[in-house]
Chains A and B, each alone.
Chain A
Amino acid sequence: MERGKHAIEIENLRFQWRQGVPVLDLPRLCIGRGESVFIKGASGSGKSTLLSLLGGVLLPQAGTVSVLGQRLDELGSTRRDAFRAEHIGFIFQMFNLIPYLSVLENVLLPCRFSSRRRQRIAQQGLQPEDEAVRLLEHLDLPAMLLHRSVTELSVGQQQRVAAARALIGSPELVIADEPTSALDADRCGSFLRLLLKESASRDSTVVFVSHDARLEGYFSRSVDLTGINRAALEG
């Protein structure tokens, strides 16, 4: 996992959902370790598709995607699943949480499926529960919510729980797909600050996509997908 200083390296990636309708055609895109990158693009421009490719849920028809120096196409689907579970945390637009689990249980979910994330916590001499509590505290969630059902939380609180869950066990990469689209401007700002501060303290790379260009100021770098996507330029 040490080779390559890039967290993400994309070469000549081409992807289409349907024959003859290319969605993505990216000659090159590199994201360094520890960077926090904002990827903007209009709705339907292929942002979510790109994130699925980064997560190895989809494989490109041509070109390569490497994450943490590992070419995803070289892994079988089972190993890709494992790789994703160990190294990547995800936050989605909404309904990120399992409704029948409490706040704490939701945050602990990745630890149930990844031994590496458990080990990372253990290396700090902590129990997963301690780490979850600490994260939630850093993300400004009152401790009294820990054992509540997630359905009782506000949308902003739910997204912070999702962020804590993405960050637990310090995965190298955090992928966020418009997690703030349901938040108002104030709460959106505070959410981003907390997320980025927490991921920076863990040296996690953040890839954040949104169509809302106003958010790019929070990130160390901004990439305009439409600008580098040849499929969009042609279409």
Chain B
Amino acid sequence: MYILTLALKSILNRRSTVLLTIVSLALSVMLLLGVERLRADMRESFANTLSGTDLVVGARSGSVQLLLYSVFRIGNPTNNVSWESYQDIRSHKLVAWTVPLSLGDSHRGFRVLGTTPDYFRHYRYGGGEALQIGRGRVFDDLYDAVIGADVARELGYEVGQQIVLAHGAGDVSFVQHDDKPFRVVGILERTGTPVDRTVHVSLSAIEAIHLGWDSGAPVPGRQAGAARIAGQDLEPKSITAVLVGLKSRIAAFRVQRFINEYREEPLLAVLPGVALQELWDTLGIARQALLAISALVVLVGISGMTTTILTGLNERRREMAVLRSVGARPWHIFVLIVGESGVVMLIASVLGVGALYAVQWIAHPLIQSAFGLSLPVHALSAHEWKLLAAALTAGLLVGLVPAYRAYRYSLADGMTIRI
């Protein structure tokens, strides 16, 4: 329709003023879609992080906290699970398998996980996929390490690389276990879970590097050199958490009760699905508030656009009268002004989506390293399309106001131009 071409040309003619409107609208659209995308992907990523595990066990604290440090590698446990308790859980008659987890060290910002080779057998993510060793093999010697895909990619590590672990989980750690270097023996395929950002070593290795340490610091003269350790008993005294698989899922509540009522020390067993849901729900209000705020930001942008069009209308009465004199009907004038809102919204939406992808592309690795969440870049989801359509519709609806005003002007003015 020619009148829309006119709207476009008119906008191009005033591009310097319209540009600001477009940029603010594009940013608001990006915000809206970004919040929605974060919500959907977080949910997906949450649900996909752990599957096939029936119970997660740790020292007694909150179930969300337990899930955060054991599965998402966020934060630190307040307490440990003693090795004896672990043995009791392991030997429970309804338990099929257990995987001990020991956290607390790091390597250049990546968490180090002490575990057993069972981890690679039983850990499941997504729809039940198992971990795959891309290159190399599972650790088997004391100072072997298996690294996640992101660790390998970001640090440029290959099989055979020597690495030194640091004590503590911070990005910058001053206490290095540099007397006992590790060797990368395996690199895992990408999973899109926190596993990608983890350095896996054996439980005994964790024990070995802390030998001769008291309460988190090396005691001078008592540190054990790598050579001295070989013959020592490296059975850990405690671990951080346990993943438990049951012979039958129906038994989950019985085993959970057994662990929660365990006498020797206060323990907590959670059903991962329930805890994930709980974690998700704690974020619910924040999520909705964010979505509401971003929707409001879009509305603010739209009303800004409408104000600009309305204030410009008076100056354009001559233009509208000229159009009427060359045969444009009042509804053409109406479409011209609605079309302007539409064109601006459309350009802003396209730019907003583009900006969303640009930001996501940049922020994806940062979010993954900070929160252990994988937010993959993907095409617009149905829900995102709906939000986009809603924003466009809102823009067009609000754009009806100046269009109606222009329509009335053009009926009143006809072709006589008076300002």
Contact = CB atoms under 8 A, between A and B. Distances in A.
B326 A109 contact: yes
A52 B327 contact: no
A90 B325 contact: yes
Given A57-B416, A95-B417, A110 B329 contact: no
B16 to A, nearest CB: 13
A110 B322 CA distance: 11
A90 B14 CA distance: 27
Contacts of B325: 55, 90, 92
B327 A57 contact: no
B328 interface: yes
A215 interface: no
B355 interface: no
Interface in A148-166: 165
Interface in B309-334: 318-319, 322-330, 332
Nearest to A97: B322
A52 B326 contact: no
Interface string A99-126: 1110000000110111000000000000
Contacts of B324: 57
Interface in A81-95: 81-82, 84-86, 90, 92, 95
Interface string A64-90: 000000000000001001101110001
Interface string B327-351: 1111010000000000000000000
A96 interface: yes
Contact of A98 (B14, B319, B327, B415): B319
Nearest to A85: B327
Contact of A114 (B318, B323, B327): B327
A48 interface: yes
Given A48-B416, A52-B414, A100-B12, A95 B318 contact: yes
Given A81-B329, A113-B328, A96 B414 contact: no
A112 B415 CA distance: 18
Given A98-B323, A165-B326, A90 B332 contact: no
B326 A57 contact: no
B393 interface: no
Nearest to B318: A95
A57 B12 contact: no
Contacts of A52: 414-416
A109 B414 CA distance: 17
B330 A98 contact: no
Contacts of B12: 100
B326 A110 contact: yes
Interface of A: 48, 52, 55, 57-58, 78, 81-82, 84-86, 90, 92, 95-101, 109-110, 112-114, 165
11 contacts: A52-B416, A55-B325, A78-B329, A81-B327, A90-B325, A98-B319, A100-B10, A109-B327, A110-B326, A112-B327, A113-B329
Given A52-B414, A57-B414, 5 more contacts: A48-B416, A109-B327, A112-B2, A112-B326, A165-B326
Interface of B: 2, 6, 9-10, 12-14, 318-319, 322-330, 332, 414-417
